Amino acid sequence: MKTIGLIGAGHIGSQLARLAVANDYNVVISNSRGPETLAALVAELGPKARAATPVEAAEAGDIVVVTVPLKNYRSVPVEPLRGKIVIDTNNYYPQRDGNIPELDNESTTTAELLQAHLPTSKVVKAFNHIYASELTTHGQPSGSANRRALVIAGDDTEAKASVTRLIDQFGFDVVDAGPLREGWRIQRDTPGYGPRRTAEELRKDLAAAKR
Ligand SMILES: NC(=O)c1ccc[n+]([C@@H]2O[C@H](COP(=O)([O-])OP(=O)(O)OC[C@H]3O[C@@H](n4cnc5c(N)ncnc54)[C@H](OP(=O)(O)O)[C@@H]3O)[C@@H](O)[C@H]2O)c1
């Protein structure tokens, strides 16, 4: 795993790019307006970073992060992500994303929507419940007392193991919520969504979540 592709380079995408470069990954970042609009971020990130189109970022990444407003998930390129690990940071805000009936009636979850759009990719939900700014300020080395933890969910065990290693490198413990369909336990308005939590606290939050 040497290259992380990013589809979306806003609050979360830019912060994950900073963490990736700091941990010696190459990053290929992309947005909706085109690589030239990412020149300042690429300059800040240095020689391990380049800007590209979403298709190129998807092709280049060993792991690819989708971090766009949920309403745009259908524009994520499907073919170049075939068989790849795809991290989904997305949350549902109807005032931003418009109403999505299958989320309103709770028959599915945000990451399951992306998984259905990317049927052969291995989608892992991660980084959706931490404020972007805290990604680069709350990380601590493995084994630190009271280390902050982040939740993952996913249907592919190996993909989850890879994402767990990545999150640990980035400075956080990991709590596995189970398959993608359990991802609602860490969606907007659940106890674990937002605050700084250790792994033990997050496990309690997941158990206490109500739909
Ligand atoms: N902000 C947070 O603290 C936070 C925390 C956890 C999770 N999240 C979730 O993570 C996702 C991203 O949040 P954010 O705050 O980073 O959003 P943001 O700051 O608005 O950035 C969104 C990024 O996605 C890009 N984008 C939009 N549509 C695209 C498309 N069709 N193809 C490629 N790129 C596209 C945008 O590019 P352009 O600027 O060129 O349009 C921008 O770079 C959201 O679902 C959000 O709910 C956010």
Mean pLDDT in residue range 42-56: 98
Query: 10: CA distance to ligand 1 center in Å?
Result: 5
The whole-angstrom separation of Cα 17 and Cα 49 is 8
Residue 14 is predicted with a pLDDT of: 99
Residue 185 is predicted with a pLDDT of: 98
Q: Is the pLDDT of residue 134 over 90?
A: yes
Query: 70: CA distance to ligand 1 center in Å?
Result: 8
In angstroms, the Cα distances linking 137 to 18, 113, 159, 172 are 11, 31, 26, 11
Asked whether 118 lines ligand 1 (CB < 6 A), one says: no
Query: 90: CA distance to ligand 1 center in Å?
Result: 8
| Closest C-alpha to ligand 1, atom 27 | 68
pTM of the model: 0.98
**Helix, strand, coil abundance in the chain, percent, nearest 5:** 45, 15, 40
Residue 164 is predicted with a pLDDT of: 98
- Tracing tokens 């280390």 back to the chain, one arrives at 147
Residue 152 is predicted with a pLDDT of: 99
Split at pLDDT 50, 70, 90, the class of 53 is very high
Q: Is the pLDDT of residue 148 over 90?
A: yes
Residue 43 is predicted with a pLDDT of: 98
Dump pLDDT digits (tens) for 4-34. 999 999 999 999 999 999 999 999 999 999 9
Structure tokens at 163: 């994402």
Query: 87: CA distance to ligand 1 center in Å?
Result: 13
Asked whether 32 lines ligand 1 (CB < 6 A), one says: yes
The whole-angstrom separation of Cα 121 and Cα 62 is 12
Specify the ligand 1 atom closest to the Cα of 75.
Answer: 31
